[in-house]
Amino acid sequence: MAERSQDSLVAVVMAGGRGTRFWPHSRNARPKQFLAIAGTETLLHQTVRRLDGHVPPERIFVVTTEDLAAETRRMLPELPAENVIVEPEGRNTAPCLALALVQIERKVPGGVMAVLSADHWIGDREIFLEDLDLAVDHAQSAHELVTFGIRPTYPETGYGYIESEGKGPVLQVKAFREKPPADVAMEYLESGRHYWNAGMFVWTLADFREGLEKHAPDVLAPLDAWTAAGAEPSALAAAYGQLPKVAIDVALMEKAGTVAVVPTRFRWSDVGSWPAAIEFHQADSEGNVTRGDTLLLDTHNSAFFGGKRLIAASGVENLIVVDADDALLICHRDRAQTVKQIVERLQAEGRADLL
């Protein structure tokens, strides 16, 4: 069964994200997936290497934006250059995946597409591949769109949830639920039937096309017209510009009648903030995480992501310090969500050099 999956399995890695929450390390030209914030390799490298031996390089595709394409190709020399699919502009995930579809279905007819994120961390590679195969088998046998559901470990209010029904290793989606308030998130956590929606999907190319044609024709038609006209690269921007800016969840998943969900067994993190990244580093006996050259006196529960310079700290607690060549962040550990506001302020002030 695994053999059958692998023969036609195509991986589509969405890698167009910005990740302002890791400023000053993340920048427009160096988004989260290019950073080694969870482990020694970048998240993009980890995502692609996780497929080693399971999906051959020629069937791994990465979708990213124009400005990130060159660096993405440089980071992934094992992939054919044309497998880095370039969005003329970011228009959310439905156009991104429709573009991948029209490019890939010509190359891998009869294929099954696994949609992965370039900037998530996944532990337990073998289990991930088992769960992936389970989803691929179900997509091929039941001809359903398949999503992955992450078992919640706390009442997160920043994710969408998938409410499931049924039993066994593959469940049915009863409903997609929006980001909940805290009390509802707690109910979801306790229900045992709700999963985090991690934006990872598996479907056959044919079922995906059928779903888009039925539920989101405006996302597909301009691309089909572009393909029919010869798929001229120079004409893509005009076609792509016609697509609605919409997430695949809204355009397709929430409208499709039957969607399956595979409750995952691998460990997962979207590494959504500096505190989440800190969790991937071993703290010393004082609770400090340090990278680079540091000298700490009476300092506790803090994280220092150094650059080229010495960071000396004394009498400091619960801080996150991130040192870049042109900017320095000093943030209370409980205020990491405000890093986004800092980036917004810089945008408002026209500080393009720091973005």
Binding site for its own copies (CB under 8 A): 23-24, 295, 297-298, 308-316, 319, 321, 323-332, 334-335, 338-339, 341-342, 345-346, 351, 354
Q: How far is the CB of 275 from its own copies (least distance, A)?
A: 12
Q: How far is the CB of 312 from its own copies (least distance, A)?
A: 5
- Comparing CB distances to its own copies, the nearer of 94 and 321 is 321
Q: How far is the CB of 121 from its own copies (least distance, A)?
A: 24
Query: How far is residue 340 from each of residues 24, 245, 272, 335, 355, measured CA to CA in Å?
Result: 11, 22, 11, 10, 11
Structural contact between residues 349 and 29, judged by C-beta atoms closer than 8 angstroms:
no
**How would you classify residue 332: left for phi > 0, otherwise alpha for psi between -120 and 50, otherwise beta?**
beta
- Comparing CB distances to its own copies, the nearer of 66 and 284 is 284
- Classified as helix, coil or strand, 18 is coil
Q: Which amino acid, one-letter code, is at 96?
A: C
Residue 333 CA to residue 146 CA, distance in Å, equals: 37
- Comparing CB distances to its own copies, the nearer of 289 and 319 is 319
Residue 227 CA to residue 236 CA, distance in Å, equals: 9
Strand duo 112-117 + 84-87: pairing: unpaired
Q: How far is the CB of 287 from its own copies (least distance, A)?
A: 16
- Comparing CB distances to its own copies, the nearer of 202 and 319 is 319
- Comparing CB distances to its own copies, the nearer of 10 and 339 is 339
Q: How far is the CB of 17 from its own copies (least distance, A)?
A: 21
Picking from 123, 136, 80, 138, the residue whose alpha carbon sits closest to that of residue 265 is: 123
